[in-house]
Amino acid sequence: MKITGVELRTVRMPLVSPFTTSFGTETDRLAVLVRVVGKAGRPHSQPVEVQGWGECVAMERPLYSLEYAAGALEVMRRFLVPVLFGQGPTGLGPDGEITAERVAALLEHVVGHRMAKAAVEMAVLDAQLRGTGQSLGGYLGAERHRVPAGVSVGVQPSIRELIDVVGDYLAQGYLRIKLKIRPGWDVDPVEAVRERFGDRVALQVDANAAYTLADARILRRLDAFDLLLIEQPLAEDDIRQHAELARLISTPICLDESIVSARAAADAIALGAAQVINIKAGRVGGYLEARRVHDLCRAGGIAVWCGGMLETGLGRAANAALAALPGFTLPGDVSASDRFYARDITTPFVLADGHITVPTGPGLGVAPIQDVLDAVTVDSTWLQP
């Protein structure tokens, strides 16, 4: 495919309710979307115009990771998109052709900025697959038509409200509950949810790096509640300390923030810092690297599940496809669109029998609904060679 233009579109979508984690409260989702337009060459016929969509998971503020939406937009505009036009230090070759499989290598000279890179790769991959008519799930190696849906429950103002919110999600059919925790909101909410809903509910917690090893005594109290896992209790670069914590508590440790690549995953596993891994394509630089994380975890007998970043229908479609790979043995944060948005920019994903259906159409299998997209767009830039 030859890329002829790229649109970078920033959207701001109101959340149905505030989402509070240990790092802050979000009331709306600011996201940068990437639309790649190109010409797909086909033997013996005229090239056809194709386009593809990517979604950058960087949040408005650099609180979950060091990337943030406006920064990612800048990096894409100045340093990543020009490479797709053949204007980078790594040339495309005389024909200007590009494939999704080459994007990561072409962008490797830019240090970090994995969420920005992932969005660009996702858009090229979507366009490429639309050109060949293959679904993203089919391309990645999905083996299921639907994936079990879990839901991430933010820190609530009170235990009473938490019980109401969790009860509502369980009534909707969600198959796994993840509670956000932070110092002062950990043992009590977990105990309350177990007391009210029983031992059969699949339950896990996510600290988003809010603790230190000195808190091991508190975290150890969570051992009593038979949690599936505790996600990212310590800081992103505390790999060794996660390994130490693993020796002090019996709840399996799952890493999120720390796993920025397949290499980081291999190291964390080898050091005993992660018994489970949360895979987010944006965090590791793209869906192709995400698949590599999946493959190495599967080979090593490490359970994985698909994380979420409050995606619009675009990222949600891609996550559903990824989560359908055989190594995803735990329910992911792949929830219905209405978990976050009253009106999604694509046809909404809905919960059916506790599952989300994996799209089967070409590429992502979904695309933005133009007037809904326009209504939430706050900025748009069109880039050409």
Q: Enumerate residues 6+ apart whose C-beta is below 8 A from 108.
A: 90
In angstroms, rounded to a whole number, what is the distance separating the alpha carbons of residues 379 and 8? 8
280 catalytic, yes or no?
yes
Tokens at 275, concatenated? 């018994």
In angstroms, rounded to a whole number, what is the distance separating the alpha carbons of residues 54 and 31? 11
Asked if residue 328 lies in contact with residue 94, where contact means CB atoms within 8 angstroms, the answer is: no
Least Cα distance to 336 among 362, 310, 361 occurs for 310
Report how many helices (DSSP H) and strands (DSSP E) the chain contains, helices first. Answer: 14, 13
The yes or no reply on residue 333 touching ligand OSB (CB under 6 A) is yes
The yes or no reply on residue 206 touching ligand OSB (CB under 6 A) is yes
Give the residue, chosen from 10, 20, 128, 152, that forms a contact with ligand OSB under the rule CB under 6 A.
Answer: 152
Least Cα distance to 128 among 105, 86, 93, 100 occurs for 100
| Footprint of Mg ion on 174-233 (CB under 5 A) | 206, 231
Asked if residue 357 lies in contact with residue 145, where contact means CB atoms within 8 angstroms, the answer is: yes
Residue 339: CB minimum distance to Mg ion, A = 15
The yes or no reply on residue 328 touching ligand OSB (CB under 6 A) is no
180 catalytic, yes or no?
yes
In angstroms, rounded to a whole number, what is the distance separating the alpha carbons of residues 96 and 359? 31
The yes or no reply on residue 309 touching ligand OSB (CB under 6 A) is yes
| Footprint of ligand OSB on 54-113 (CB under 6 A) | 64
Binding partner selected for residue 335 from ligand OSB, Mg ion, none, CB under the kind-specific 5 to 8 Å limit: ligand OSB
Give the residue, chosen from 208, 251, 258, 275, that forms a contact with ligand OSB under the rule CB under 6 A.
Answer: 208
Residue 87: CB minimum distance to ligand OSB, A = 33
**Pick 8 or 230: Cβ nearer Mg ion:** 230
The yes or no reply on residue 256 touching Mg ion (CB under 5 A) is yes
The yes or no reply on residue 333 touching Mg ion (CB under 5 A) is no
Q: DSSP letter string over 271-287?
A: TT--SEEEE-HHHHTSH
Using CB under 6 A, list all residues that contact ligand OSB: 64, 152, 206, 208, 256, 307-310, 333, 335
Catalytic residue IDs: 180, 280
Using CB under 5 A, list all residues that contact Mg ion: 206, 231, 256
